[in-house]
A and B are shown apart, each in its own frame.
Chain A
């Protein structure tokens, strides 16, 4: 079916297997009664169930929780958090500030822009290795075609303080030795030996752990969306409690003008 026919087919109704609410009666979530079948679900369990339609073990859920917890930094200097903080400072609403901060988290050098390419690289490379490819060739190809490897390298510093604790937890849960995790560390060793100055960051580790839990590329991307969320409300609250306009106020001297000299206005 093509053209307007397909639009006509979908007009005026929602056909869904994801769910619906029946106001005053009940709500259905992926084929289950939310207030009966799923009423005891932990929130993150429900969130991941909503994304994948699958259930995860207690150990797996602990790891998923920790992946978010270990990257929740209430530091209003960080660019995405700063948006939440600035919203507090300008007396905007918390929802607007935090929603915008989450949207800003989908950046190309950190956060959302890393999730997809990172897990795609690991899945693609693992498949290639299974077919007999050499890891060094895969890495070289990636560096050549993408000019970098998502999940390796970090904007402000090369060391990533989140890797050690998440791997320690994964080890206690018996989830630290999956094929994607082993691959992620092997790539790190290769890059280190080759002196590429691209140390593995949390993005690669989180992607590897989630790939080993069976998350698809899109599932991982959506799972990671609120990863920074817990650090944002504190940034909003603190700046909202201070005198208005006092988060990083910029005087005229804070602006370094590098443009053309003053000139008379005239139309071309």
Chain B
């Protein structure tokens, strides 16, 4: 299907490009998993359909597209209190490049507290436990060993809010809506068993768990879910970074410091 005259090639099952007749480095047509992107999909396909196609290799059903679109709306802006958005605003307020703001959001939003890694861990738990409440209870009681990972040891059960008191309204609203939209079982099961899981965890469910569950219902692997989560939370980080750039650093918190070992104080 492809001209393999080059000795160094990139293999892909995702993307086929055909060159313009006058330039082997210019694209005449591009196909995503067999579909003509500019000749057929453009003007027909929705953004979420393209996303799903890229990762899963098939066009989503209308129910899957609706679920993914709802997840994208939910995740689009974690809000300026979220550490990843806070990081992006630190870039914006100082006039850092656009890419630096997004890199900051990605790095801070990648971790085990409300970040991509937490989504990954929850999705691994889904793969291990399925819709077996006993299995979930055992896993929550004895989390798997992850001692050789580059990631720090988890300090809370993935998918639950370590600082939460009760399940927040947006988490409940999101879970309720997504469970209605999904044609798979996990979101529905999670809504039915939320209270039991929270009782075992001793903490309320977090949005990361709802997102991870939606990604499982969409058929994503933990690696794909982690990537999606990172991607879908960037719009809010970008918007807030640009906004703080306009406000300027004098209107951005700098906070006070309490130095516990100030040599100037010791000298006195």
Contact = CB atoms under 8 A, between A and B. Distances in A.
Interface of A: 2-4, 6-7, 12-17, 19-20, 26, 28, 30-33, 37, 92-93, 95-96, 99-100, 103, 106, 112-113, 115-117, 120, 146, 150, 221, 249-268
Contact of A116 (B15, B148, B258): B148
Interface string B32-46: 011110001100110
Contact of B259 (A20, A93, A262): A20
Nearest to B41: A265
B62 interface: yes
Given A6-B163, A31-B263, A14 B41 contact: no
Contact of A17 (B8, B59, B260): B260
Contacts of B9: 253-256
Contacts of B11: 256, 258
26 contacts: A12-B256, A14-B255, A14-B257, A14-B258, A16-B258, A17-B259, A20-B259, A28-B261, A33-B264, A37-B263, A96-B103, A99-B100, A103-B103, A146-B148, A221-B150, A250-B25, A251-B6, A255-B12, A256-B4, A257-B1, A257-B2, A259-B16, A259-B57, A263-B35, A268-B58, A268-B62
Contact of B263 (A32, A252, A260, A266): A32
B142 interface: no
Contacts of A249: 25
A16 B163 contact: no
Interface residues of B, number: 60
A252 B35 CA distance: 17
B210 to A, nearest CB: 20
Interface in B44-90: 44-45, 49, 57-62
B260 A15 contact: yes
Contacts of B16: 255, 257, 259, 262
Contacts of B163: 2-4, 6-7
A198 B13 CA distance: 32
B143 interface: no
Is chain A's binding surface mostly helix, strand, loop or mixed?
mixed
A115 B44 CA distance: 48
- The 9 A-B residue pairs whose C-beta atoms are closest, nearest first, are A259-B13, A31-B261, A265-B40, A251-B24, A252-B19, A117-B148, A257-B16, A256-B9, A263-B34
Nearest to A31: B261
Contacts of B41: 265
- Counting chain B CB atoms within 10 Å of each CB, the highest count among A249, A252, A254 belongs to A252
A152 to B, nearest CB: 14
B5 interface: yes
B18 A252 contact: yes
Given A95-B100, A112-B150, A259-B14, A268 B61 contact: yes
Contacts of A266: 59
Contacts of A100: 103
B17 interface: yes
Contacts of A106: 150
- Counting chain B CB atoms within 10 Å of each CB, the highest count among A146, A249, A262, A266 belongs to A262
Nearest to A118: B148
Given A3-B164, A31-B262, A96-B99, 5 more contacts: A251-B6, A253-B2, A254-B9, A257-B2, A268-B58
A112 B103 CA distance: 18
B199 interface: no
B173 interface: no
- Counting chain B CB atoms within 10 Å of each CB, the highest count among A31, A100, A257 belongs to A257
A100 B10 CA distance: 21
A144 to B, nearest CB: 14
B204 to A, nearest CB: 10
A254 B27 CA distance: 13
Interface in B148-196: 148-150, 163-165
Contacts of B164: 3
B126 interface: no
- Counting chain A CB atoms within 10 Å of each CB, the highest count among B34, B40, B44, B100 belongs to B34
Given A116-B150, A256-B4, A265 B10 contact: no
B263 A28 contact: yes
A188 to B, nearest CB: 20
A247 to B, nearest CB: 13
B60 A253 contact: no
